[in-house]
Structure formats: C-alpha cells, structure tokens
C-alpha cells in the first residue's frame, strides 16, 4: 500500500519536473521575420544616418572600399544577437582587413563573445565573411556597467586596413542579424522605463506636441526603431513556471513525508482495543 502511494507520488513528481525542462529547451531563432522583399538596399554613413534593419532581414548595400557603412537594428531583453556580414570584394585588390563593430544605443562599443569580427583577405580573394555574437541583452543593469540593454544597436562595417590603391573600389555588402532567445536563465530583475533608443526623449515630446500641432509629426528622429511585436514588458520569464512547479512539488513531497509518518492504519504504539 505504502509503496504504491510513494511510487505514484514520485511518478507524478517526475512528470511535473519534466515540464519546465521541455519548456526550457526550445531556443527560437527569430528567422521567421518578414520576407526579404522589402529589405533595405543601402547603408548609412554615420550613426546619425544609419539604415534601420529588422532582425532576420538580409540587408544589402553597395559601397566603396574605405566607406564606413552603418546599419541599426533593435534587440530586446533575453536575446543574444549575432551579426553576420559578407563583403564581396572587387576582382583585383591587395590585402585588405575588414571589421565589424557593434555599438549600443549610447554608442558604446559592445564586445563580441564569439565570431571573427576582423578578417584579412589576401590579395585577390573574392569575399570576406565576418560575424559577431554579442552578450545576452539584459532587461536592466547598473548605470556603471556597459551590459547590453534593450534598444537600438548600431553596426559599423569598414575596411580598417586598406592600401591607397584600393580606396574607392566598389564592393557589395550583405548584413544580417539573428538572435537566439536565451530565456529565463538571463531574466534579471528590474526594467528600463524606456528602451535605449537614441532621441527617444525628443520623440516623446514631439508625440505630445503632435496632438496640438499635426505638422510636427513630419520631423525626422534619430532612431525610430522598434521590434516587430514591440518591446517586451519584461515581466514574463520561465522562472515563473519553475518556481510554481517547485512549489507544487514541495507540497507533494510534504504530503508524501506526512504520509510516511502516518504509516498504514492505526499507530503501532496504540494498544489494541484502547
């Protein structure tokens, strides 16, 4: 009797315990984003003029060797963005070194965890492929840290080592940003009141004004970037599931422990017929 009860309780526990693991092991790369049909075909030349792209879009641009090409993309909390860039070099060229740099909404350079951020192409090589995986974007961090925060990210692609003879030669470039959803393990407490989007204060002032003065809407903003489904509010994470299941299991284990002490039927020390 006791054995079956304990067994069924432990089976139940096992079943419940598998659930968060299943919920956990589903990394969802965000490549289902919009079709590439409307992907941007040019790049900006400064932070101010950076071309906005979506994650999962393959943006292309033609430029010249020596240009500083800028794009910007949104990244939200819990994401770990990976930036990839391909540069198709002209048929004849000397040795060139290309590099991608990623900056956050405050124009602070962000480090790459993996990926070859800088690559040197030997003379005559047809293309260079660069990649950079950022750290996971956190919902909040202290003001003194430069952890990646939700908001605009800038991507700069340029030739850092180039001979004078190669300056100005036409190149075509392709960039793409995908991100891995890291999930609850990266869920931190706190949240930003506004995402780290440059010019957001100016934009919200303009929005307030626009109720009075519709023409103000026309003014350009530094960055109008937003993920397709908006910025996450940041309260949900799979920590809720883990904690709730933990609570339930604790309750079950409590019942189990209680049942063990009760034994089956009457307590043994009670004399029969008492």
Partner 1 sequence: MITRKRLAAGVGALLAALTAGIAFPVAAAAGEPVGGSTPQVDLVLDVSGSMRTADIDGGTRMAAAKRAFNEVLDATPEEVQLGIRTLGADYPGNDRKTGCKDTAQLYPVSTLDRTEAKTAVATLSPTGWTPIGPALLKAAGDFAAGDGSKRIVLITDGEDTCAPLDPCEVAREISAKGVGLTIDTLGLVPSTKLSKQLSCIAEATGGTYTSVEHTDELTDKVNQLVDRAADPVVTPVATEGTDTCSTAPTLKSGLYTDREEFTQQRWYRVDVKPGQELRTSVSVAADRAVNPSYGVLLRAVTVHGREIVRGEAAGNGRTDVISSGLRYPKPESDEDDAPAETVCLQVTNSFSAGTGVKTTPGLPLELTVDVVDGPSKASDVASFGLGRGWWLLGVLILAGFVAGLLWGWVSRWRVAVWRTN
What residues from 202 to 231 belong to the interface with partner 1 (CB under 8 A)? 202, 204-205, 210, 213-222, 224
Kindly state whether residue 27 participates in binding partner 1, applying the rule CB under 8 A.
no
- Residue 2 interacts with partner 1 (CB under 8 A): yes or no: no
34 is an interface residue for partner 1 by CB under 8 A: no
Binding to partner 1 (CB under 8 A) within 54-73 occurs at 62-64, 66-68
Reported residue count of the chain is 274
Residue 27 burial (C-beta neighbours within 10 Å; 0-12, 13-18, 19+): exposed
- In the range 139-198, which residues lie near partner 1 by CB under 8 A? 139-140, 143-144, 146, 158-162, 164-165, 167-170, 184-185, 187-194, 196, 198
- Residue of 44, 56, 74, 227 interacting with partner 1 (CB under 8 A): 44
Task: Give the footprint of partner 1 on residues 232-271 (CB under 8 A).
Answer: 234-235, 237-240, 242-243, 245-247, 249-262, 267, 269-270
Instruction: Say whether residue 8 binds partner 1 (CB under 8 A).
Output: no
Q: Which of 105, 46, 34 is nearest to 75 (CA)?
A: 105
**117 conformational bin, left if phi > 0, alpha if psi -120 to 50, beta if neither:** alpha
With binding defined as CB under 8 A, does residue 117 bind partner 1?
no
CA 55 to chain centroid: 9
Asked if residues 106 and 168 have their Cβ atoms less than 8 Å apart, the reply is no
CA distance 224 to 33: 18
Q: Contact between 107 and partner 1 (CB under 8 A)?
A: yes
């Amino acid at each position: 009797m006791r054995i079956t009860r304990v067994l069924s309780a432990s089976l139940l526990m096992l079943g419940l315990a598998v659930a968060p693991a299943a919920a956990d092991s589903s990394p969802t790369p965000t490549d289902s984003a919009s079709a590439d049909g409307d992907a941007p075909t040019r790049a900006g030349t400064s932070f101010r003029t950076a071309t906005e792209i979506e994650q999962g879009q393959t943006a292309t641009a033609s430029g010249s060797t020596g240009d500083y090409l800028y794009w910007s993309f949104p990244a939200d909390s819990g994401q770990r963005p990976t930036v990839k860039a391909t540069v198709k070099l002209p048929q004849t060229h000397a040795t060139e070194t290309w590099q991608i740099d990623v900056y956050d909404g405050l124009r602070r350079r962000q480090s790459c965890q993996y990926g070859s951020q800088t690559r040197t192409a030997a003379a005559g090589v047809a293309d260079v492929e660069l990649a950079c995986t950022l750290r996971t974007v956190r919902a909040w961090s202290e003001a003194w840290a430069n952890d990646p925060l939700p908001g605009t990210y800038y991507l700069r692609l340029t030739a850092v080592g180039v001979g004078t003879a190669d300056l100005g030669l036409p190149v075509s470039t392709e960039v793409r940003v995908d991100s891995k959803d890291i999930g609850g393990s990266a869920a931190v407490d706190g949240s930003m009141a506004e995402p780290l989007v440059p010019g957001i204060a100016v934009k919200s002032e303009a929005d307030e004004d626009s109720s009075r003065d519709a023409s103000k809407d026309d003014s350009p903003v530094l960055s109008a970037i937003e993920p397709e489904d908006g910025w996450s509010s940041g309260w949900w994470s799979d920590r809720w599931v883990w904690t709730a299941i933990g609570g339930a299991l604790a309750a079950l284990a409590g019942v189990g422990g209680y049942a063990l002490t009760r034994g089956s039927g009457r307590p043994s020390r009670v004399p029969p017929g008492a």
